[in-house]
Amino acid sequence: MDEQQLEMIRQASEQQSAGPGPLFYIFYFAFIGAMIAGLWKTFTKAGEPGWAAIVPIYNVYIMTKIVGRPAWFTVLALIPCVNIIALFIIGIDMAKSFGKGMGFGIGLALLGPVFYAILGFGDAQYQGPAAASGGMSAA
């Protein structure tokens, strides 16, 4: 290898080890902030403490409580691969608990920061746990 190739390899290795840039962190913290704000307002509308939105795992338990799922459903949301299905079910039940449709629930599962902000800051009213009143069944 000549000197030019070695210099290019050195520069590439320095760029890789530098980590993400400031723009990444701006978007990352905006994403997290939007998710927390939307969940906080949604929890408050459902009569739960808003601060629960910032406590990992406990916030999933509060979501299962809001939608009427049993507490062990929280464990399903923590198991890799199974959690995808569990969070879709929780999202759909959450939407139904606020009088929204299945499409909105899928939006909650896929684009949480946007749809939880719409749910929390919008005019939707909590109507009670959807899973407890004939929503989607657990199995």
Report yes or no on 6 lying in a domain: no
Report yes or no on 38 lying in a domain: yes
Q: How many CB atoms lie within 10 A of CB 71?
A: 9
Report yes or no on 136 lying in a domain: no
Strands (E), the chain: none
Report yes or no on 8 lying in a domain: no
Report yes or no on 9 lying in a domain: no
Res. 54: pLDDT tops 50: yes
* pLDDT value for 55: 95
- Helices and strands per DSSP (H, E), number in the chain: 7, 0
* pLDDT value for 137: 45
Express each pLDDT in 62-121 by its tens digit. 999 999 999 999 999 999 999 999 999 999 999 999 999 999 999 999 999 999 999 999
Six-digit token pair at 5? 């190739």
* pLDDT value for 17: 63
Torsion 131-133-134-137 (CA) sign: positive
Report yes or no on 56 lying in a domain: yes
* pLDDT value for 43: 96
Report yes or no on 129 lying in a domain: no
Residue 67 contacts residue 16 (beta carbons within 8 Å): no
* pLDDT value for 138: 44
Domain carrying residue 101: 22-121
pTM of model > 0.85: no
**CA contacts within 13 A on the Cβ side of 44:** 15
Report DSSP letters for 6-37, one per residue: HHHHHHHHHHHHT---HHHHHHHHHHHHHHHH
Identity of the residue numbered 131: A
* pLDDT value for 46: 94
As for how many domains the chain has, the answer is 1
Report yes or no on 51 lying in a domain: yes
